[in-house]
Amino acid sequence: MVFMLIPCLTVSSRLLSSLLVSSRLVSSRLVSSPFSRFSYTRANKRDNIVLHSEINLVDSLSVHSRFKRDTIKQNSAGQFMSFPYNKIRQANIHSYKQTSIHTSSIHSFSTLTATPCLFEFKMATRPPLSTVLPPLICGTATFNNQYNADPFSLPTNAIVQRALESGVNAFDTSPYYGPSEEILGRALQQPQILAHHPRSTYHLITKCGRIAGSEFDYSPAWIKHSISRSLTRLHTTYLDVVYLHDVEFVSPPEVLEAIACLRDLQAQGTIHYIGISGYPVPVLCDLAEKILQETGKPLDCVMSYANFTIQNHELYTSGLTRLRKAGVDCVPNASVLGMGLLRSSGVPDNGKEDWHPSPKELRARVQKAARWIEERGERLEVVAIRWGLERWALDGKVGSEPIGVSVMGVSNIGELEETLRVWNSVLDGISLPGRQVEESKKQWSLKRRVEVEELAKGIREILGDYQDYAWASPGEGFGGAIDEEKAGAVSTIKDSGKLADFNFILLSLILLTHYYKVGKHGRIRS
C-alpha cells in the first residue's frame, strides 16, 4: 500500500514549477504551493532598502529561493548630467519598505513531495516608472555583431562606467541583440562599479519573445526561460523593465498570454515594470488599449523606434494621446536616426547589405536633404539627433516625468562624450527645477534650437510626400518567405545558453545607435 501511494504523493519539480508560476500572485492573496511558506510583512524604513529574498525561476524547471540581506542607501548624489536631476524624480519616489521573510520546507530535489503549504504575498507599491527612469537611456544594441565585427573588443567597460558617472543610469538591452546582455553584465561586474554603483542605483531594461529575424516565441515557458537567462547574463536577481519584443509580429492573444506571464513574475518581484516594444504606432496603441481593457491594468511603458524623427512624427501626432488614455506611464523614443536612414552616408543600397525597409524614393529624398544641409555647413545626422532629443524632451513626456525619455546607443567613448555634450546642451535650454544654468549657455541652446527647427523644416520640405511615412512591419515575406541568404546567418538554437556568432540583419529594427563624424567643416555642432 505504501508503494502504491508514493507515485501519488510525488510530483516532478517541473510540473510544480509550472503550477507555481501560472498561479497569479496578487496583493494579500493566499496561493497554495508545495515549496515553502513565506510571510511577507512590510514596514516603513527611511532611506533604506532591506532585501531578504528574491524568488526566480531557472530555465522553467525548478524554483530556487535566493536569500540575501543587503542594506542599500539611496543615491543621495542624484546627479544627472552634472546637475541634481534625479532629485526631481526622487521627490516622488517612496522609499522601499523593509521586508521580512520566514521560510520553511524548502526543497531542491529532482522530485518533490506535495505537502500543502501557503504563500502569503503582498506586492510592494512601486512608484510610477516615469518617476524612476532617467530621461536618457544608454542603448546597447551596439554591443553586437550587427554593428561591430567584434563586440567583445569594444570599450564597453569604460562606456558603462562613464555612463554611470554621468548619471545615465539605465541600460536597454535584449537577448535578440546577440551577446549584448552578456557584455553589459560583465561590464557591470567591474570592481570599481560594484564599489561605487550598487545594483539599486541603476536600471536594467531588457526584452523577451523575439529569438531571431523571423522566429518568435511568446509562450509562458519560453518567456520564463528567457527572463531566467537574462538574470544570469546580467548578474542580477531582478529586472527593472521587461518589454515584449516587437509585438507586431505575433497575435494579440499571444501578447495577452505573455503579459499574464510577465505579471506573474512581476508579482514575485523578479520584474518591476512591464511594457511592449515595436514599430507600428497603431499596433502599439491597439495593444496598449486591449491590455488595459482585458486585464484592467495598464502597461507601465511602450517603446517605439524610428517614429519620432525629423522624417516621421507619428509617435507624437497619433500615438502619444492614445497611449496616455490607455494609462501608459512612460513612452521612450528610440532611433532618432530612423534606423540609420537620416545619415549623410545613407543606408546600404545594394545586394545583401540592403536591409533597410525604407523605399528607394525616400532614400533618394533623404540624400538630397543631406546635400542641401551640407551646403549650409551642417551634417544631417547631427541635426537629426539634436532635433530628436530636444523635441521629444519637450513634447514626449507622458506621466510624471518632467521631460520625455530617449534611448541612444554608442560604440565608443567618443560617441558617448558627444552624446552627453549634445544632451547637456539640450537641457541648458529647458527650465527644470533644481538645475542652474549659466545664462550664456541657456541663450546658446535656445538659439541653436531655432536654427535646428529651421533646418528641420527645410529637410521636411525636401522629403515632400514622405513626411510621416511609415514602412510596413512586418514586411512582405514574413511568415516563412524570408530570404534566409539576405537575412544572414542566424542562430536559432533557442535552448542553448551559449552565445552564438549572431549576424542579425533584421536586428536593425531596433537600431539604437548613431554615428558622429567630423567632416570637412571641422568640429561638429550640437
Q: Which three cell numbers stand for residue 324?
A: 496616455
Burial class (CB in 10 A: 0-12, 13-18, 19+), 86: buried
Task: Say if CB 406 and CB 337 are below 8 A apart.
Answer: no
Contacts of 6 (CB under 8 A, 6+ apart): none
Say how many CA atoms lie within 13 Å of 15 toward its Cβ: 7
Instruction: Note if 279 is an active site residue.
Output: no
Task: Give the whole-angstrom CA distance, residue 57 versus residue 201.
Answer: 24
| CA neighbor of 139 nearest in space, from 184, 91, 104, 171 | 171
Selected catalytic residue, list 85, 96, 147, 177: 177
Tell how far CA 511 is from the center of its chain.
12
What is the DSSP secondary-structure string of 346-365? ----SGGG----S-HHHHHH
CA distance 439 to 453: 21
The sign of the CA dihedral 283, 287, 288, 290 is: positive
Sign of the torsion angle spanned by Cα atoms 54, 175, 245, 395: positive
Q: Annotated active-site positions, please?
A: 177
